[in-house]
Structure 1
């Protein structure tokens, strides 16, 4: 079955598996609406993640694991926006990142890969969603590993970059001004999707989205 790019798509293309930088372009109704935007990827590059659809891979190509510092390749839903402001006038579900909000990266926890209010008995490992720096001042939750498969990776976001050339622990980061533009464009009713690939996967992507116009 073909997938048609008639809604909102954020396409991130890295050159190869060890790339820590990539180009991001936003599409709506098959047309590029803005970009390219330079983004940062995982400090260890990229690997195949768990998304809405599995892309073709060979036995020797990397699979994302918890703590591997690789950003996930694949097709993922974009589920909600989070930030330090109490409210935002946007077209996406919004999570206020209070000091009590955490994202659980402990594979043994029933809350693995979920954003929750910190319980009295906290998981063994988690990320605070209200950090001392500005990296989570604004962000988008990526629907990676929704089935909470242990050790397959957690807490994947689009978020504010630490600095212009700073890779991430597995997320996709960018300048605040670019992220704001994306967040105010996103519309939950248009099923926003993140597609992250390496350059060699462009042909496969076009077989799934034959109407999508991708610059060679």
Structure 2
């Protein structure tokens, strides 16, 4: 099973809130690592339902939790660790079914939270669309959500692009309307295509000026009879 990297943004004003967010995230089955980055929490896991995870976080944290991105975790990113901000270590424990307490050590990254900002997202979901009626219903359901600007079907996937669209609410709505399981595959920021500026090439020709043809002067010899009107025969 492919590991997924799930990034959520939430309000964590103090250490108690941060510890609670970490404890809630690690309680989800399949989670293998949790990390705090500013006002975000990064969860990596095997087979973790990002929609269910976000709903649990919203319920436990008592506030709005925004699902920012869902992407496949690459092996290089799993091994790579960065510690750019000041960090402290904390122990988080929770009981299992055998009433034994498991404790893990997590690293909390401390920073000043940023404000929430709206950006265009690309949301990809997989669902069963056996016939034309199902496909049409999926499209109608997606475009009914406020903020959606484009919807496209790609095989058994539906790609939704929108401004400020809550991917969790969208997926729950799709599951309700389609009456089947809808898998949220990825959530990422929609990147604007950079338009290449066409450079106009200046073509220059050599400056050829008009040169008038050279005028030659010819001397006409004076004839003897032209000097006077007298007779030239003696």
TM-score grouping bracket, smaller chain normalisation: under 0.3
Question: More helix by proportion, 1 or 2?
Answer: 2
Q: Name the structure, 1 or 2, with higher relative contact order (CA <8 Å, separation 6+).
A: 1
Taking structure 2 as the reference length, what is the TM-score of the superposition?
A: 0.20
Taking structure 1 as the reference length, what is the TM-score of the superposition?
A: 0.21
Greater gyration radius: 2
